[in-house]
Amino acid sequence: NCQELDSKVPEFQTDVNFDIWYLQETKLVKDTQIHSKSHSFERTDINAPSQSGAAIAVKGTIHYESLDLSFIQHASVELMGIKIYIEDFPCLIINVCKVSQNKYLSLK
């Protein structure tokens, strides 16, 4: 949980430069711009008071595609995903954040 991403972007510019970061509680709204020299950001922004936002930061040298996960909706989670390729094989990366007190999530 990063608790407001826009103030923490300099942490991505360090010598310890991870390829992919999973970020939750980004607290970003759609007009917030994030700039990083090393990473691209795929993100879901806050659209309602119950949301906290999520993001996946991907090193600029890694090609990725956004996933449309709109068919999976539940009031207790925020989720997003990307697809990368490792030696020509697709790898799906999903970021899921539980945001409410509901105990069960069904992906039927």
Query: Residue 84: which residues within 8 A CB-CB, separation 6 or more?
Result: 20, 58, 62, 63, 64, 65, 90, 91, 93
Q: What is the pLDDT along the chain (108 residues), one digit of tens a residue?
A: 555 565 555 665 565 678 998 888 888 888 888 878 888 888 888 877 777 888 898 998 999 999 999 888 777 788 899 999 999 999 999 988 877 655 555 555
Q: Which two tokens stand for residue 95?
A: 């970021």
Q: What is the pLDDT of residue 78?
A: 84
Cβ neighbours of 84 (radius 10 Å) = 16
Range of the domain at 86: 9-98
Task: Read off the tokens for 53.
Answer: 């936002």
In this prediction the pTM is 0.75
Give how many domains the chain has, as a whole number: 1
pLDDT of residue 14: 60
Per-residue model confidence (pLDDT) at position 106: 54
